[in-house]
Protein backbone atom coordinates (compact mmCIF):
# COMPACT_ATOMS: atom_id res chain seq x y z
CA UNK A 1 0.00 0.00 0.00
CA UNK A 2 1.25 3.49 -0.80
CA UNK A 3 2.29 5.74 2.02
CA UNK A 4 -0.60 8.16 2.57
CA UNK A 5 1.78 11.00 3.43
CA UNK A 6 3.40 10.73 -0.02
CA UNK A 7 0.11 11.40 -1.78
CA UNK A 8 -0.84 15.03 -2.16
CA UNK A 9 -3.81 16.48 -3.99
CA UNK A 10 -3.07 18.64 -7.00
CA UNK A 11 -5.39 21.34 -5.71
CA UNK A 12 -6.42 21.90 -2.10
CA UNK A 13 -9.76 23.56 -1.70
CA UNK A 14 -11.39 24.94 1.39
CA UNK A 15 -14.88 23.54 0.92
CA UNK A 16 -16.52 26.56 2.51
CA UNK A 17 -15.73 28.63 -0.59
CA UNK A 18 -18.59 27.20 -2.62
CA UNK A 19 -21.43 26.92 -0.07
CA UNK A 20 -24.23 28.01 -2.40
CA UNK A 21 -23.34 25.44 -5.08
CA UNK A 22 -22.75 22.81 -2.40
CA UNK A 23 -26.18 23.34 -0.86
CA UNK A 24 -27.82 22.94 -4.27
CA UNK A 25 -25.79 19.82 -5.02
CA UNK A 26 -26.65 18.38 -1.59
CA UNK A 27 -30.35 18.84 -2.21
CA UNK A 28 -29.99 17.17 -5.59
CA UNK A 29 -27.66 14.44 -4.30
CA UNK A 30 -30.49 12.84 -2.37
CA UNK A 31 -32.22 12.29 -5.70
CA UNK A 32 -29.85 9.51 -6.77
CA UNK A 33 -29.22 9.16 -10.48
CA UNK A 34 -31.96 11.67 -11.35
CA UNK A 35 -30.26 14.20 -9.07
CA UNK A 36 -26.90 13.48 -10.68
CA UNK A 37 -28.38 14.06 -14.11
CA UNK A 38 -29.87 17.36 -12.96
CA UNK A 39 -26.54 18.40 -11.45
CA UNK A 40 -24.95 17.52 -14.79
CA UNK A 41 -27.40 19.70 -16.66
CA UNK A 42 -26.91 22.58 -14.23
CA UNK A 43 -23.11 22.45 -14.02
CA UNK A 44 -22.18 20.70 -17.24
CA UNK A 45 -23.39 21.34 -20.73
CA UNK A 46 -21.58 24.00 -22.70
CA UNK A 47 -19.61 25.51 -19.81
CA UNK A 48 -16.33 24.07 -20.98
CA UNK A 49 -14.26 20.95 -20.75
CA UNK A 50 -13.16 21.47 -17.14
CA UNK A 51 -16.76 21.73 -15.94
CA UNK A 52 -17.78 18.61 -17.87
CA UNK A 53 -14.89 16.66 -16.35
CA UNK A 54 -15.76 17.96 -12.88
CA UNK A 55 -19.41 17.01 -13.34
CA UNK A 56 -18.50 13.53 -14.59
CA UNK A 57 -16.20 13.10 -11.58
CA UNK A 58 -19.00 14.26 -9.26
CA UNK A 59 -21.40 11.73 -10.79
CA UNK A 60 -18.84 8.92 -10.58
CA UNK A 61 -18.03 9.72 -6.96
CA UNK A 62 -21.72 9.95 -6.08
CA UNK A 63 -22.38 6.49 -7.56
CA UNK A 64 -19.34 5.10 -5.66
CA UNK A 65 -20.67 6.67 -2.44
CA UNK A 66 -24.09 5.07 -2.93
CA UNK A 67 -22.48 1.68 -3.64
CA UNK A 68 -20.21 1.96 -0.58
CA UNK A 69 -23.19 2.82 1.63
CA UNK A 70 -25.24 -0.10 0.35
CA UNK A 71 -22.28 -2.46 0.88
CA UNK A 72 -21.86 -1.18 4.44
CA UNK A 73 -25.59 -1.46 5.18
CA UNK A 74 -26.27 2.24 5.72
CA UNK A 75 -28.64 4.66 3.99
CA UNK A 76 -27.17 5.61 0.61
CA UNK A 77 -29.15 8.87 0.52
CA UNK A 78 -27.89 9.98 3.94
CA UNK A 79 -24.33 8.94 3.08
CA UNK A 80 -24.37 10.88 -0.20
CA UNK A 81 -25.63 13.96 1.68
CA UNK A 82 -22.86 13.43 4.24
CA UNK A 83 -20.10 13.31 1.63
CA UNK A 84 -21.61 16.35 -0.09
CA UNK A 85 -21.49 18.17 3.25
CA UNK A 86 -17.95 16.98 3.97
CA UNK A 87 -16.25 17.87 0.70
CA UNK A 88 -18.73 18.59 -2.06
CA UNK A 89 -17.40 15.33 -3.58
CA UNK A 90 -13.99 16.97 -4.05
CA UNK A 91 -11.30 14.34 -3.56
CA UNK A 92 -8.69 17.07 -3.06
CA UNK A 93 -10.61 19.00 -0.39
CA UNK A 94 -8.88 20.11 2.77
CA UNK A 95 -10.19 21.79 5.91
CA UNK A 96 -8.57 24.33 8.22
CA UNK A 97 -8.63 21.63 10.94
CA UNK A 98 -6.47 19.34 8.79
CA UNK A 99 -9.12 16.93 7.49
CA UNK A 100 -8.41 15.82 3.91
CA UNK A 101 -10.00 14.13 0.93
CA UNK A 102 -13.48 13.33 -0.19
CA UNK A 103 -14.60 12.00 3.22
CA UNK A 104 -12.59 14.61 5.18
CA UNK A 105 -10.57 12.16 7.24
CA UNK A 106 -7.94 13.34 9.64
CA UNK A 107 -4.69 11.73 8.41
CA UNK A 108 -4.39 9.55 11.53
CA UNK A 109 -7.95 8.27 11.15
CA UNK A 110 -7.32 7.43 7.48
CA UNK A 111 -4.14 5.58 8.44
CA UNK A 112 -5.94 3.65 11.20
CA UNK A 113 -8.64 2.63 8.72
CA UNK A 114 -6.04 1.73 6.09
CA UNK A 115 -7.51 4.09 3.50
CA UNK A 116 -6.06 6.67 1.16
CA UNK A 117 -8.14 9.78 1.93
CA UNK A 118 -7.44 11.26 -1.53
CA UNK A 119 -8.66 8.17 -3.42
CA UNK A 120 -12.47 8.00 -3.52
CA UNK A 121 -12.32 4.25 -4.29
CA UNK A 122 -10.59 3.79 -0.95
CA UNK A 123 -11.99 6.64 1.16
CA UNK A 124 -15.71 6.19 0.38
CA UNK A 125 -15.90 2.53 1.42
CA UNK A 126 -13.78 3.37 4.48
CA UNK A 127 -16.12 6.20 5.48
CA UNK A 128 -19.18 4.02 4.90
CA UNK A 129 -17.71 1.24 7.07
CA UNK A 130 -16.86 3.82 9.72
CA UNK A 131 -20.43 5.17 9.66
CA UNK A 132 -21.85 1.65 9.91
CA UNK A 133 -19.62 1.03 12.93
CA UNK A 134 -20.64 4.31 14.54
CA UNK A 135 -24.32 3.62 13.90
CA UNK A 136 -23.91 0.22 15.54
CA UNK A 137 -21.99 1.75 18.45
CA UNK A 138 -24.87 4.18 19.04
CA UNK A 139 -27.63 1.57 18.84
CA UNK A 140 -28.62 2.41 15.27
CA UNK A 141 -29.06 6.13 16.00
CA UNK A 142 -27.74 7.64 12.78
CA UNK A 143 -27.90 11.19 14.18
CA UNK A 144 -25.49 10.20 16.94
CA UNK A 145 -23.30 8.39 14.41
CA UNK A 146 -23.11 11.55 12.29
CA UNK A 147 -22.31 13.66 15.34
CA UNK A 148 -19.56 11.20 16.27
CA UNK A 149 -18.12 11.34 12.73
CA UNK A 150 -18.04 15.14 13.01
CA UNK A 151 -17.04 15.72 16.63
CA UNK A 152 -15.90 12.35 17.95
CA UNK A 153 -17.59 9.55 19.82
CA UNK A 154 -16.39 10.79 23.20
CA UNK A 155 -18.11 14.13 22.67
CA UNK A 156 -21.37 12.37 21.80
CA UNK A 157 -21.13 10.06 24.82
CA UNK A 158 -20.50 13.05 27.07
CA UNK A 159 -23.44 15.00 25.61
CA UNK A 160 -25.75 12.00 26.03
CA UNK A 161 -24.59 11.51 29.64
CA UNK A 162 -25.23 15.19 30.39
CA UNK A 163 -28.37 15.85 28.40
CA UNK A 164 -30.07 12.52 27.74
CA UNK A 165 -32.58 13.02 24.96
CA UNK A 166 -31.46 16.63 24.59
CA UNK A 167 -27.89 15.56 23.80
CA UNK A 168 -27.61 17.32 20.43
CA UNK A 169 -28.16 20.76 21.98
CA UNK A 170 -24.98 20.17 24.01
CA UNK A 171 -22.85 19.50 20.93
CA UNK A 172 -20.90 22.28 19.17
CA UNK A 173 -22.99 24.43 16.83
CA UNK A 174 -21.03 23.11 13.84
CA UNK A 175 -22.05 19.55 14.76
CA UNK A 176 -25.68 20.53 15.33
CA UNK A 177 -25.76 22.14 11.88
CA UNK A 178 -23.95 19.16 10.33
CA UNK A 179 -26.52 16.68 11.64
CA UNK A 180 -29.48 18.93 10.73
CA UNK A 181 -28.18 19.50 7.18
CA UNK A 182 -27.68 15.79 6.50
CA UNK A 183 -30.74 14.44 8.27
CA UNK A 184 -33.07 17.24 7.20
State the Cα torsion 16-50-82-96 to the nearest 10°: -30
Nearest alpha carbon to residue 123 among 138, 109, 143: 109
CA separation for the pair 130, 150 (Å, rounded): 12
Reported residue count of the chain is: 184
- Annotated active-site residue in 81, 86, 90, 145: 86
Respond yes or no: is residue 86 known to be catalytic. Answer: yes
Contact predicate 88/18, CB 8 Å: yes
- Active site positions, annotated: 86
Amino acid sequence: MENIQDIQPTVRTDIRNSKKRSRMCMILAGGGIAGAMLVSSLFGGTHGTQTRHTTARFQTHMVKARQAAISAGISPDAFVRQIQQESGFNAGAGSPAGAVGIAQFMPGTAANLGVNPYDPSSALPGAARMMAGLASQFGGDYRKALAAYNAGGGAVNSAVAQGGGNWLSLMPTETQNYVATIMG
